[in-house]
Amino acid sequence: MSKNLDLKEGKIRSTLVKLALPIMGTSFIHMAYNLTDIMWLGRLSTGAVAAAGTAGFFLWFGSSLVMITQVGVGVNVAQYIGRNDSESAKKYITNGFQLDIFIALLYSLFLFSFRHNIIGFFNLQDSNVIQMAIEYLTIISIGIIFHFLNPIFSAALNSTGNSITPFKINTIGLVANIILDPLLIFGVGPLPQLGIKGAALATIMSQFVVTILFVILGKAFNNIYSHVSLLSKPDMQIVKSIMKLGFPPFLQTGLHAVINMILTKIIAQFGPVAVAVQSIGSQIESISWMTSEGFSSSISAFVGQNYGAKKLERIKEVYKQGIQILGSIGIFTSLLLIFAAKFLFAIFVPNDPIAINEGVIYLRILGLSQFFMCVEIGTIGAFNGLGKTLQPTVNGVVLNVLRIPFALILSSTVLGLSGVWWSISISSILKGIILFIWFRFVLAKLKV
């Protein structure tokens, strides 16, 4: 088991990077699950990619539900560790797991029961794509509880300054997924060819492996969550505290997922290739936001512990240095998406020139907003560390909702499908600018 980093003393930049890199790596691993599926499904058919992308929105919405406990537990654990009160931190972890499992079971039941209606919402034109999307969602719904549990294990450890252990465990899960994907999708030896069902099974089985490893290592090393007893009586005051902090981030991320579902419905009017372009393009674009999420979690843990320790000047310096790093990442990603668009997209659909051409347009338009998106995500982490989760939610919800009328208006002009991509890029730029100014205002008035 790796040592916890001291976030309240010493150099900021090097410690910030040390904490962020494994979290960032863990985020990339989660992204790589989807990328691995898409890379293999892209060799099956463009329709399979569209089906997985459509059903994948409900994994995304599941991730937003996880944020209720992930943020609520992570912020409270960081602040109590900052106050040297590990017993209170452990109580939040126990109640966080109980709440997380309850939400996961309800969501699993909902997805399984209404899977046909859910996929029907998108009005997909191809009956084969519809059937594949339903098959994918059916399997994901049965095993989605592991998708809920693993981020809570990671959040608890990250908040104590230990981000190496979650990274190592999630890496093992990714390796399992990389091995299982081609075996189950295409079939090898006695294994039958399962197609898109194989991709869903590979994802669930890999996440199950990660959950088991977290449990085993927790018991072996007596770490921060090893005491958890799921059968103990929940403390409703703690549950309310977790939900108070976690609900705004869930609202923002959940609405973001819903808005993207509506955008997909608009995009579906342009055919399955357009849906596949959105699915693949968003995965490529996630190079920047997954990297930013890693630093955002690091900034949140840093700010949370120092806020608990009443170190205002260190909070200001953490934010300054964090945004400098994230701004550099945003600029690099912009250049990558704009100038290497064709190369990046061709990796996923090498035999579909129409999808590649549309994908190049997507990446170049979204490339313009990467700097601002990185700044926004880093600032969300700083707000979360202070326990102020409402401000980024208001900013994100308002501007994400505006994507829908923007997309409808712009896509009805000569821009066509590109109008949808412009609606996303413009709103990302505005979100980054507004939230940065808002946090500077809050920071100037902050008292600890």
Q: What does the pLDDT look like over 61-70, one tens digit per residue?
A: 888 899 999 9
Tally DSSP H helices, then E strands, for the chain.
Answer: 17, 0
> Would residue 149 count as lying in a domain?
yes
Q: Give residue 229's pLDDT band: very low, low, confident or very high (50, 70, 90).
A: confident
Sign of the four-CA dihedral 161, 164, 225, 148: positive
Q: Is residue 6 over pLDDT 70?
A: no
Is the pLDDT at 51 greater than 60? The verdict is yes
Q: What is the dihedral of CA 249, 240, 80, 28, to 10 degrees?
A: -30
Task: Check the CA dihedral 402-405-410-411 and report its sign.
Answer: positive
Token digits for 388?
Answer: 């102020």
| pTM flag (> 0.85) | no
Of the candidates 401, 377, 366, 253, the one whose C-alpha atom is nearest the C-alpha of residue 322 is: 377
In a domain, 2, yes or no: no
- Please state, in angstroms and rounded to a whole number, the distance separating the CA atoms of residues 163 and 18: 9
pLDDT greater at residue 110 or residue 60: 110
- Indicate whether 1 belongs to any domain: no
Mean pLDDT in residue range 403-426: 92
The pair of structure tokens assigned to 88 is 């209170």
**Is a pLDDT exceeding 60 seen at residue 1?**
no
Query: Which stretches within 83-195 are classed as H helix?
Result: 86-113, 115-120, 127-143, 145-159, 164-186
d(CA 136, CA 46): 15
- Number of domains within the chain: 1
Mean pLDDT of the 42-52 span = 78
Give the per-residue pLDDT at 182: 87
Is the pLDDT confidence value at 2 over 70?
no
Structural domain containing residue 315: 13-444
Instruction: Decide if 8 is inside a domain.
Output: no
Residue 297 · residue 158 · CB < 8 Å: yes
Which is nearest to 34 in space by CA: 243, 281, 242, 249? 281
Residue 115 contacts residue 141 (beta carbons within 8 Å):
yes
At residue 394 the predicted structure's pLDDT band, cuts being 50, 70 and 90, is: very high
pLDDT in tens, 103-154: 999 999 999 999 989 888 777 767 888 898 899 999 999 999 999 999 999 8
**Mean pLDDT taken over the chain:** 86
- pLDDT at residue 5, rounded to an integer: 62
pLDDT digits (tens, 9 = 90+) for 327-374: 999 999 999 999 998 998 888 777 788 888 988 999 999 999 999 999
**Tokens 């996880």 map to which residue?**
66
For the cut 90, the answer to whether the pLDDT of residue 254 exceeds it is: no
Q: Which range in 70-79, 215-224, 400-409 is most confidently predicted, on average pLDDT?
A: 400-409
Answer whether residue 4 is part of any domain.
no
pLDDT at 448: 59
Two tokens at 208? 């199950």
Confidence (pLDDT) at 376: 95
Spatial contact of 157 and 165, defined as CB atoms under 8 Å apart: yes
**Residue 99 or residue 159, greater confidence:** 99
- Residue 273 above 60 pLDDT? yes
**297/139 Cα distance (integer angstroms):** 30
Say what the pLDDT of residue 101 is: 94
Instruction: Calculate what percentage of the chain has a pLDDT beyond 90.
Output: 35
